[in-house]
Structure 1
Amino acid sequence: MRRFVLAALFLLITLPAGALERWQTLPPTPAPILANRSGEAEANGIKIHYAIYGQGSPVIFLHGGLANSDYWGNQVPAVAARHTVILMDSRGHGRSARDARPYGYDLMADDVVALMDALKIPKADIVGWSDGGIIGIDLALRHKNRVGRVFAFAANTRTSGVVEDVEKNPTFAAFIARAGKEYAALSATPNEYAAFVDQISKMWFDQPNWTDAELKTIDTPVLVVDGDHDEAIKRAHTEYIAATIPHAGLLILPNVSHFAFLQDPDQFNFAILHFLGDE
């Protein structure tokens, strides 16, 4: 994983000419949405950027690796009409800080709980994409009293679940390049993207690696979701996760990829709301 991200940083890769299938596109990152409340919370030894929208039962959205919470802009209006939506930038991502501790999913899950404590949220549902989905599963394993339901999109529970050479996929490579520009615009350390990628890639190299026995202890309702053209996660691995976590559901969204929430937000939002019991 580390190797593919670093390689993509130095390659100029463009999407193929001519008409593209929807799953081959990378629609723009949504513009930030004015929040009811936002700020930087002191939590787990760092400052975590958050934004809150709407009213109702809380739903925390967790973005993917290298990204930031702006990526959820197409989901906020739909879900905030019925719930309190909490967006957060993961440690070292977007507008959030980090410390010297190495990246790890346990640490990042602890960040979520620390933010919940700071915001006085006793329990929340989780919607996670990629690394965010992994963090959601981590919460279901280690903080099950703090989570209600977990919508885990494009997650893996073993490193072997990641597609080899995904950096050669034009859509994924375009995302990595875009994430670098967004990091420079949002981060307090705008010139350290390469170092940031190197550090988080060390986590990707050997995490996650949960055993079947560990996954079978989860009793939180989990919906395992992916696009039918995901560039990064093997379909067989997605099916394995759903088969191993007790009572988990499996949903494969048609004609979308690792970036389904951008490519077909209506379909993605319907899936979230249905899982939360709103549709």
Structure 2
Amino acid sequence: MFLLFCAPAWAGPRWQELPPTPAPVPGETPGYAVVNGIRLYYATIGRGPAVLMLHGGLSNSDYWGNQVQALTPHHQVILVDSRGHGRSARNDQPFGYDFMTDDVVGLLDFLKIPRADIVGWSDGAILGLGMAIRYPNRVGKVFAFGANSDPSGLVKGVEKNPTFAAFIDRAAKEFEKLSPTPENYSAFVDAIAKMWGKQPRWTASDLKQIHTPVLIADGDHDEGIKRSHTEYLAATIPGAELLILPGASHFAFLQKPALFNAALLDFLDGR
């Protein structure tokens, strides 16, 4: 099923903008969980069915502020800073999607949450799909925005795109502000880049193991993910839907939050 949401015209190319990172939402209850040998930052807010928010590489959970406000009236929202990102620590273990997925499951265990819907962006979307493959009993639905199943789905030279370059610059400042090891940003980026160059490497057979309800979503101007690859994911995962948000990029949740949130709530609650 292919969905295309319509949106009003903007005065300028909204997809080339990088709106500010939202501030943490008042009422979030923060904490740390010791998971796989690291201190993992998380925050919870709201009541209702659990929704776990997984952010993209180099960023942190604050990026979900617009979505948190939309979800909290009817959901318990769980935010997490992935290992080495934001306020979370890392150890000498190389970054890897399977290991980071294990962190997410460890956090759910710590919080005594048996099952949660997953909302993921970029690396977070990959983690959500990884959970659907490896831990299907822990996942309800997966809203996967800007994911790839192998490095061939990435656009080469994305770091030179002005919007993405602005994000990388912002991520450096946020890392220095939030991280327990603020001096290690360059090493952190190098380690993440190595992961991006090699992982994930899911085959079509791997993707066909997914039987969780999945919405594969992206912006029509994504700087880093090939449209053909997004369409491949939706066509290969059994029963998956495809959503392309118009006039938005890899940062659609910031650029067009009302449109993004409407699609998110429709997927989680409307069917």
TM-score bracket, normalised by the shorter chain, equals over 0.9
- Corresponding residue of 1:5: none
AA partner of residue 263 (structure 2): A
Contact 1:79/1:273 (8 A) holds in 2: yes
Equivalent residues of 1:35, 1:51 under 8 A apart: no
Q: Which aligned pairs between 1:165-204 and structure 2 lie closer than 5 A?
A: 165-204=157-196
Q: 1:77 offset after TM fit, Å? A: 1.0
| Structure 1 residue 56 corresponds to structure 2 residue 28 | no
Q: What pairs with 1:67-216 in structure 2 (closer than 5 Å)?
A: 67-216=59-208
Report the AA paired with residue 178 of structure 2: L
* Aligned residues between the structures: 261
1:121 maps to amino acid: I
Q: Write out per-residue CA displacement over residues 31-69 of structure 1, whole angstroms, 9 at most, x where no aligned residue.
A: 112334211111222111111011000000000000000
Q: Aligned equivalents of 2:192 and 2:27: distance in 1?
A: 29
- The one-letter amino acid of 1:196's match is F
Find the counterpart in structure 1 of residue 245 from structure 2: 253
Amino acid at match of 2:180: A
TM-score for both structures, normalised by structure 2: 0.95
Match in the other structure for 2:3: none
The separation in 2 between residues aligned to 1:35 and 1:145, in whole angstroms, is: 30
Q: Which amino acid counterpart does residue 62 of structure 1 have in structure 2?
A: L
Shift of residue 136, structure 1, vs aligned partner: 0.3
Aligned to 2:7: none
Q: Aligned equivalents of 1:55 and 1:173: distance in 2?
A: 37
Q: Deviations over 1:77-107 (max 9, x none)?
A: 1111110000000000000011111100000
What is the DSSP-based 3-state SS (H/G/I as helix, E as strand, rest coil) of the residue aligned with 1:74? Answer: helix
Please say if residues 105 and 135 of structure 1, whose CA atoms lie closer than 8 Å, have aligned partners that are also in contact: yes
CA distance in 1, matches of 2:225, 2:36: 30
Give me the CA root mean square deviation. 1.0
| 2:40 partner letter | I
- TM-score (norm. length: structure 1): 0.92
* Local SS of the residue matching 1:198: helix
Deviations 1:111-136 (A, max 9, x none): 00000000010000000000000000
Give how far 1:202 is off.
1.1
The yes-or-no answer on 1:264 pairing with 2:256 is yes
Q: Which amino acid aligns with 2:268?
A: L
Secondary structure of 1:99 counterpart: coil
Matched residue SS, 1:101: coil
Alpha-carbon distance in 2 for matches of 1:218, 1:81? 29
1:234 to 226, 229, 237: 226
Superposed CA offset, 1:149-186 (max 9, x none): 00000000010000011112100000000000000000
| Contact kept? 1:224, 1:251, Cα under 8 Å | yes
Which sits farther off after the overlay, 64-73 or 199-208?
199-208
| Aligned residue number for residue 5 of structure 2 | none
Instruction: Report the more deviating stretch, 74-83 or 57-66.
Output: 74-83
Counterpart position of 1:35: 27
For the structure 1 residues 179 and 36, does the alpha-carbon distance in structure 2 shift closer, same or farther, using more than 3 Å as the test? closer
Residue number among 216, 236, 254 corresponding to 1:244 in the alignment? 236
